[in-house]
Structure 1
Amino acid sequence: MIKAVIIDDELNARELLEKTLVKYFPNRFNIVAKCDSVDAGVMAIKNYEPQLVFLDIQMPEKNGFELFKSFEAINFEVIFTTAHNQFAIKAIKRSALDYLLKPINHMDLAEAVKKFEKKNAGNFAQKKLALLLENLNVNDQNVSKIAFPTTDGFELIHTNQILYCKAESNYCCIKKIEGSTKLAAKTLKFVEEILPTNTFKRIHKSYVINLNYVVRYHKANKEIELTNGEKLPVSFRKEEEFINAILQNQ
C-alpha cells in the first residue's frame, strides 16, 4: 500500500480526496494523516515518512511551497492540489511534478497516481522540488540572481535560494535551502558585499545568514536555528545588530 499524507486547510477537500482514493483505489492507499496546515503537515511527514504527499498550494498561514523549507532532503513524492494560481501551475509543469485542479476529478487523480507509481523516490524527488523552487523564483521580479565567482567560472544563484554563507579560508561556502553547497572563489567579506543588505546579515566572523530562514534565536546559547534545523553561532559583537535586523525584517 502507498503511505500518503493529505495537507489542505479545507476539511471538505481533505475528506473528499480521501473518499475518492478509497473508492477508486481500494486497498492501494494508507492515509496516515490529514493535516490542515503546512506546520501540521511537516510534523506528519517527519512522523510517518510517507511515500506520497497531496499538498494544497493556497493556505491561510503558509502556502504549500513553504513546506519544503523544513526538509534538508525530500524523500517523498508530491501531487499538488489547487483551485487556481496559474503562475504556480506553470512552475509545477516546468518542474515535471504533478498537480490536480479542484474540484478533483477521479480520472485526473488516476492519471496522477499512475505517474507516481512510475517515478523514483528519494533524490529524484529532491531534484524536481529544487527545480520547482528555482522556476518559481525565475518569475518573481523581487528576486535577484547573483553571479558568484568559482574556480572555473561563475555560479548564478537566486538570492532567496541561499540559506547562509560560511567562510572557508579565502573561499566562501554557499549553503542553499534544498541542501546543496557551492564554493565561491572569494572571501566571505566579498560575498557579503554583493548580497542584498535588507535580507542578509553577518552574525559571526564566519557566517552571513538569510534572515528569511531564521526560525528562532536562543539568547542564552547565542545561536540561531534555521528552517533546516541547523544552528549557527551569533557573536557578542554582532548580537545587537542581528536582533535589530530581525525586528525590522518582520
Structure 2
Amino acid sequence: MIKAVIIDDEINAQDLLEKTLNRYFPNKFNIVEKCNSVDSGVLAIKKYEAELVFLDIQMPEKNGFELFKYFEYIKFEVIFTTAYNQFAIKAIKRSALDYLLKPINHLDLAESIKRFENRNKGNFAHKKLSLLLENLNVNDQNVSKIAFPTIDGFELIHSNQILYCKAESNYCCIKKIDGITKTVTKTLKYVEEILPATSFIRIHKTYVINLNYVVRYNKINKEVELTNGEKLPVSFRKEEEFINAILQNN
C-alpha cells in the first residue's frame, strides 16, 4: 500500500479526502496521518517516510509551499489541493506537478492517482519541486524553465528557447530555436496556458508562436515568417489580435 499523508487545516476536507480514497481506491492507500499544519506535516512525512502527500496550499500559519524548506532532498510526490489562487496553479503546472480543485471530485482524483502511479517509476520529485519554488518567486515574464510532461518523464525547457508549439491531436510538438522538436503529452491548449502570455500568442488552431522570433507578416498570404525561415498560417479570427500583439511587443 502507498503511504500517504494529508495536510489540510480544514478537518472536514481531510475526512472527505480520506473517505474518497478509501471508497474509490480500496486497499491502495494507507493514510498514515492527517495533519492540520505544515509543521505537523513535516514530522509525519519524516516519521513514516511518506510516498505521497496531499497538500493544501492556503493554510493560516504557513502556506503549503513552505513545507519543502524542511527537506534537503524531496523523495515524496505531491498532489496540491486548493480552492483558488491562479498564480500558484500556473506555477504548479509549469513544474509538471499535480493539483486538485476543492471540492475534490473523485474522477479528478482518479486521474491524479493514475499520473502519480505512472511518474512514480522515476524519481523526479525533487527536480519538479525545486523548479516550482523557482517559478513562484518570479513574475510571468521572467518565468524559469518549464517542465513539459513527456512519455518518458518531463523535459525542462526555458520559454525563450521555444520558437513555436504545434498541436498534434492530444499531444503537442515544441519546436526549439536550435531546431530540435520535443513531443509533449499535453494538448496545445494546456501548453498555451502555462507559457508566458507576454511572449506567446495563438495564431491558428494549430499553432502558438513566440513573438520574439517573428521576422515579418505577409498580410496577403496571411503567413508569419519566423527567424528560422519557417512560414506559419495566421487564421482570419486571430489576425487582429496577432497584429496588436506584434505592435505591443515592439
Return the alpha-carbon distance in structure 2 between the equivalents of residues 94 and 29 of structure 1: 27
Return the alpha-carbon distance in structure 2 between the equivalents of residues 106 and 24 of structure 1: 7
Q: Helix, strand or coil: the match of 1:9?
A: coil
- Report matched runs for 1:59-208 at 5 Å: 59-120=59-120, 123-139=123-139
Return the alpha-carbon distance in structure 2 between the equivalents of residues 121 and 85 of structure 1: 30
State the Cα deviation string for residues 22-77 of structure 1 (Å, max 9, x = none).
Answer: 00001111000000000000000010011100000000000000000000000100
> In 2, are the aligned partners of 1:9 and 1:35 still within 8 Å (CA)?
yes
Taking only the aligned residue pairs, the percentage that are identical comes to 80
Give the gaps of 5 or more residues in structure 1. Answer: 146-250
Q: Which residue of 2 aligns with 1:43?
A: 43
Aligned length: 143
Amino acid at match of 2:79: I
> In 2, are the aligned partners of 1:75 and 1:122 still within 8 Å (CA)?
no
Return the alpha-carbon distance in structure 2 between the equivalents of residues 122 and 45 of structure 1: 20
Moved over 2 A (4+): 120-123
Q: Which residue of 1 aligns with 2:29?
A: 29
Amino acid at match of 1:66: E
Amino acid at match of 1:136: L
Q: Which residue of 2 aligns with 1:232?
A: none
Q: Which residue of 2 aligns with 1:235?
A: none
Amino acid at match of 1:50: A
Return the alpha-carbon distance in structure 1 between the equivalents of residues 95 and 17 of structure 2: 24
Return the alpha-carbon distance in structure 1 between the equivalents of residues 69 and 140 of structure 2: 18
State the Cα deviation string for residues 85-108 of structure 1 (Å, max 9, x = none).
Answer: 001000000000000000000000
Q: Helix, strand or coil: the match of 2:124?
A: helix
Q: Which residue of 2 aligns with 1:168?
A: none
Residue 120 of structure 1 and its aligned partner are, at CA, apart by 3.1
Return the alpha-carbon distance in structure 2 between the equivalents of residues 121 and 75 of structure 1: 12
Residue 121 of structure 1 and its aligned partner are, at CA, apart by 6.4
Instruction: Tell me the TM-score normalized by structure 1.
Output: 0.55
Q: Helix, strand or coil: the match of 1:138?
A: coil
Instruction: Tell me the TM-score normalized by structure 2.
Output: 0.55
Name the Cα RMSD after superposition: 1.9
Amino acid at match of 2:127: K
Return the alpha-carbon distance in structure 2 between the equivalents of residues 117 and 3 of structure 1: 13
Return the alpha-carbon distance in structure 2 between the equivalents of residues 25 and 58 of structure 1: 26
Return the alpha-carbon distance in structure 1 between the equivalents of residues 39 and 124 of structure 2: 24
Q: Helix, strand or coil: the match of 1:15?
A: helix
Residue 6 of structure 1 and its aligned partner are, at CA, apart by 0.1
> In 2, are the aligned partners of 1:95 and 1:128 still within 8 Å (CA)?
yes
Residue 137 of structure 1 and its aligned partner are, at CA, apart by 1.0
Residue 139 of structure 1 and its aligned partner are, at CA, apart by 2.1
Q: Which residue of 1 aligns with 2:180?
A: none
State the Cα deviation string for residues 194-217 of structure 1 (Å, max 9, x = none).
Answer: xxxxxxxxxxxxxxxxxxxxxxxx
